[in-house]
Amino acid sequence: MANDAFNRPELTLWRKLLSLNWLFVLLVAAVAGIGFAMLYSAANGRLDPWASRQIVRFAAGLVIMLGVALVDVRHWLRGAYVFYLAVLAALVAVEVVGSEGMGARRWIDLGVFAVQPSELMKIGVVLALARYFHGVRAENAGRLRHLIVPLPLVVAPAVLIMRQPDLGTAAMVLAIGVAMFFLAGVRLRVFAAVGVAALAAVPVIWRFLHDYQRQRVLSFLDPESDPLGAGYHIIQSKIALGSGGVFGRGFLQGTQSHLSFLPERQTDFIFTMYAEEFGLIGALVLLGLYFVLLAYGVAIALRARSQFARLLAMGVMTTFFLYVFVNIAMVTGLIPVVGAPLPLVSYGGTAMLTVLFGFGLVLGVYVHRDVEIPRRGLEDEP
């Protein structure tokens, strides 16, 4: 009788909650806390309009993250393609019923809130490719017949996202796909061949870029050529970064941001505002938190017993790394301005929920790390 009571579903759920990696959750909350503070500062010492909404979104996302973590990883294996196809359908719907803002059509307005399917597709690609490569031996992953299915899984959403237009997110989806191929065991010579083909296609891609996208690339190469136009963002960002010095100007004391020289300080350039107020030391603290989160995620992935769980956790953490890298490289002038949020810090609903949903998958891999998932069909492959 005692054993039967112990195995009741509600107690099993309780045991899963206790087995969560709560230090990982605490690190996520710490980074989000920095974001709340910076959004408070961006509004000149007010919770509205950004910080209060971000806190509500984080609370909802935290519930989603913990709920996702409790789902058996085998359910995500079964539903991977369904999730991918649902988000792909949403990308197609953006073309028809999407709402437009700042010259781009990227959102679906659901009345209460707007959803950006391109953000969700980053997780959709990870789930779909983890599901596919789960059944493929590493030594066979680079064979042409095993690339016929996964290549369209990456290219199709990237093309749809490019049409919105959103070059930055499309490039991130492609980068996530490349990372998943590498993690699955695709040989380096395949990447070399694709890289050569991509370089050869640059003149063609350049012709299809919008004028403002071309201008962003040109201003990246020479920001001073248009200091009041395309080069304005990165010039002001560098000024703000430099003015912060080692210890920063102090909370709420950033001149570039609070005098409105720094554009998009609540979203794309929030790291610049943070570095201006807290200096190099503060920037290193935030980067350190990001590094520890990445290290935890990779460690969780390596402990998983199934190929699907390993690829899923590594794919999510790769996506997280790309979020951080692209944003910080953008605001420091290492890459062109592409409009990428800083995860858990920048203001934004879908981006935050996507990151927390992905972290829920990683925590789920940790909870179910000892679950073995048969890789059907491997015994029949040469």
Give the span between the Cα atoms of 181 and 116, in whole angstroms.
25
Please give the pLDDT value at position 382: 32
Provide the whole-model pTM. 0.89
Question: Which sign does the torsion angle of CA 94, 96, 101, 102 carry?
Answer: positive
pLDDT of residue 223: 63
DSSP state of 229: T
Predicted confidence at residue 5, as pLDDT, reads 39
Lowest mean pLDDT among 144-153, 200-209, 273-282, 317-326: 200-209
Residue predicted with more confidence, 215 or 109:
109
Residue 339's closest CA among 280, 237, 267? 267
Output the six-digit token pair for 357. Answer: 């949903």
pLDDT band at 108 (very low <50, low <70, confident <90, very high): confident
pLDDT per residue over 281-322, tens digit each? 999 999 999 999 999 999 999 999 999 999 999 999 999 999
- 3 state SS of 226: coil
Question: Across residues 60-82, what is the average pLDDT?
Answer: 95
More confidently predicted of 213 and 52: 52
Q: Residue 376 pLDDT > 90, yes or no?
A: no
Give the helix/strand (H/E) hosting 352. helix 349-367
